[in-house]
């Protein structure tokens, strides 16, 4: 069963459990065996909830035998180390939260738990979700299951790697500027960033509050739709959550895209992509055209301003959100401080990593007296222009097709000392966060080095159903999402 589990989707697993082909205990044991075999190489997990997961699996099997149900009854899911799960550590990949145990469930976790989901473990991430490689973690780097010498992307790299390696059926992540979609593309997963406000942020540790969004990493579009259906909805604990009616999302039921208008933003195709990525994306666009979609060019003229706008806003909000880590209330505290000022400064200096410090400094400067309007205020005005670009584009098309990333996964260590180059890798993902839109990435091919490439689909606010239709039809017509990394994996890490 262990080898079979690595290929199962969430939906397939639910059907196997319902049919009695396996029980939840067997499922959890099989996944734990896969993790024991593969994770020493990949390092997707930083905490395994093994005993508690097995106890929950026994309870789920008993509930099923008693005729009780739940859409995810007995199904184990991995969770990025940025979401609070009651009784589990929540360190956000940072030393400064050492010793912190979550006293409550995030709303999305509570909704999954109510449907019977089991939380198998916590996955590695860039510290406080600040990074694109999962190298900025106090727990050490995660490696890409397709090649152990390559990054898995970030900041949800642990979640993406776990799903790709068969160590998780599905995983939760967070997406502030592409942190679900980029690692999904690098690892060959399906990654969903919902519309801002569709999923509650209550219990999601804040990086940049106006940009953060819980997202999913799955093996196909059907699973993304299933998880979104369970988690979506208004939450009184989160004032930014949308008061929308309950929706049962599903992947496309048909096999074509006739009647849909799909736009290609010309600014996303004007250079900067690796040639293998561009070739693969163009082939994916051709598949959508063959499925009956009308392909048309659109323009997003302020695209070039998205990266500086994003990093000003995100860092300014991070500066405010991370002020709470002071060594007094919880988490790490420096062992030797003679006064309160020294306690604060040493705790933060010792507890935060370099990338987090860099972003706090940038954000504090942007918010400082005399510079607030010059930097943060101006960035917010540009953000409005970016949102209007998308609104105009969606008057002429139903969704957009773009590359997810300009490159495939690059070598570990290549960009960790070159943050600007790393930031520029988010050029195709950050605009959706600035505009509050939904985005979906699906595997659409490989480079000659067998590294996955992702096709991104962007929809208007609350346009998830359109994205699921496009992504579902594409996956019915292709088999890229069913490819799995070979084991042993390429690369010399041992």
Give the position of tokens 């098309």. Answer: 397
The catalytic residue among 155, 156, 200, 319 is 155
The catalytic residue among 24, 137, 174, 179 is 179
Q: Would you call 492 a catalytic residue per the annotation?
A: no
- Percent composition of the chain: helix, strand, coil (DSSP 3-state, to 5): 40, 15, 45
Quick one: CA dihedral 466, 426, 224, 481, positive or negative? positive
Give the position of tokens 């909704």. Answer: 111
Q: Would you call 179 a catalytic residue per the annotation?
A: yes
The span from the CA of 28 to the CA of 243, in Å, is: 36
Residues 37-50 as b or e (16 or more Cβ within 10 Å = b): ebbebbbbbbbbbb
Question: How are strands ordered across the β-sheet holding 76-80?
Answer: 45-48, 118-123, 76-80, 171-174, 214-218, 190-193, 438-446, 452-459, 399-403, 261-265, 294-298
Which helix (H) or strand (E) is 164 found in, with range? helix 157-164
Q: Do 156 and 183 form a contact (C-beta atoms < 8 A)?
A: yes
Both structure tokens of 144: 């890409």
The catalytic residue among 80, 132, 174, 241 is 80
Q: Do 416 and 422 form a contact (C-beta atoms < 8 A)?
A: yes
Beta-strand ranges (E) seen in 110-166 are 118-123
Q: Do 63 and 72 form a contact (C-beta atoms < 8 A)?
A: no
The span from the CA of 476 to the CA of 343, in Å, is: 57
* 3-state SS, residue 264: strand
Q: Would you call 159 a catalytic residue per the annotation?
A: no
Quick one: CA dihedral 120, 240, 94, 143, positive or negative? positive
C-alpha distances (whole Å) from 121 to each of 21, 76, 168, 230 are: 24, 9, 9, 20
Both structure tokens of 158: 């642990």
Question: What distance, in Å, lies between the first and last C-alpha atoms of the chain?
Answer: 26
Quick one: CA dihedral 31, 35, 37, 38, positive or negative? positive
Q: Do 282 and 446 form a contact (C-beta atoms < 8 A)?
A: no
**Per-position DSSP letters for 319-385, written without gaps between them:** HHHGGG-SSSSSS---S--SSHHHHHHHHHHHHS-HHHHHHHHHHHHHHSTTTHIIIIIHHHHHHHH
The span from the CA of 364 to the CA of 333, in Å, is: 22
Catalytic residues: 80, 155, 179
């Amino acid at each position: 069963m262990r080898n079979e589990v690595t290929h199962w989707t969430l939906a397939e697993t639910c059907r196997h459990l319902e049919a009695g082909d396996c029980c939840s205990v067997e499922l959890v044991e099989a996944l734990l065996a896969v993790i024991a075999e593969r994770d020493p190489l990949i390092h997707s997990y930083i905490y395994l909830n093994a005993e508690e997961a097995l106890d929950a699996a026994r309870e789920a099997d008993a509930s099923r035998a008693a005729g009780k149900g739940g859409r995810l009854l007995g199904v184990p899911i991995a969770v990025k180390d940025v979401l609070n799960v009651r009784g589990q550590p929540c360190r956000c990949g940072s030393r400064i939260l050492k010793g912190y145990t979550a006293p409550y469930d995030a709303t999305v976790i509570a909704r999954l738990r109510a449907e019977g989901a089991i939380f198998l473990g916590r996955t590695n991430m860039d510290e406080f979700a600040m990074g694109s490689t999962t190298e900025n973690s106090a727990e050490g780097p995660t490696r890409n299951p397709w090649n152990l010498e390559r990054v898995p992307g970030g900041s949800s790299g642990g979640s993406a790697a776990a799903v790709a390696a068969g160590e998780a059926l599905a995983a939760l992540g967070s997406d502030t500027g592409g942190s679900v979609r980029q690692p999904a593309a690098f690892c060959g997963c399906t990654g969903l960033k919902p519309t801002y406000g569709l999923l509650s942020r209550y219990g999601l540790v804040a990086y940049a509050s106006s940009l953060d969004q819980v997202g999913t990493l799955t093996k196909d579009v059907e699973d993304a739709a299933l998880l979104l259906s369970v988690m979506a909805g208004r939450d009184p604990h989160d004032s930014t959550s949308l008061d929308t009616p309950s929706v049962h999302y599903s992947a496309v039921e048909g096999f074509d895209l006739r009647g849909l208008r799909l736009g290609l933003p010309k600014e996303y195709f004007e250079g900067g992509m690796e040639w293998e990525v561009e070739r693969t994306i163009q082939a994916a666009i051709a598949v959508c055209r063959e499925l009956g979609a009308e392909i048309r060019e659109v323009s997003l003229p302020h695209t070039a301003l998205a990266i500086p706008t994003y990093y000003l806003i995100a860092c300014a909000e991070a500066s405010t959100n991370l002020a709470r880590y002071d060594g007094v209330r919880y988490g790490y505290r420096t062992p030797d401080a003679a006064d309160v000022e020294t306690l604060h400064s040493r705790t933060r200096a010792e507890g935060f990593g370099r990338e987090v410090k860099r972003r706090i400094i940038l954000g504090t400067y942007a918010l400082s007296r005399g510079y607030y309007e010059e930097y943060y205020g101006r960035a917010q005005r540009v953000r409005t222009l970016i949102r209007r670009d998308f609104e105009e584009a969606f008057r002429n098309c139903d969704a957009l097709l773009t590359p997810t990333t300009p490159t495939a996964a690059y070598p570990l260590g290549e960009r960790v000392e070159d943050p600007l180059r790393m930031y520029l890798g988010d050029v195709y993902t950050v605009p959706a966060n600035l505009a509050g839109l939904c985005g979906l990435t699906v595997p659409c091919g490989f480079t000659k080095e067998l590294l996955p490439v992702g096709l991104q689909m962007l929809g208007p606010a609350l346009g998830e159903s359109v994205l699921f239709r496009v992504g579902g039809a594409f996956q019915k017509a292709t088999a890229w999402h069913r490819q799995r990394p070979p084991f042993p994996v390429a690369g010399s890490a041992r």
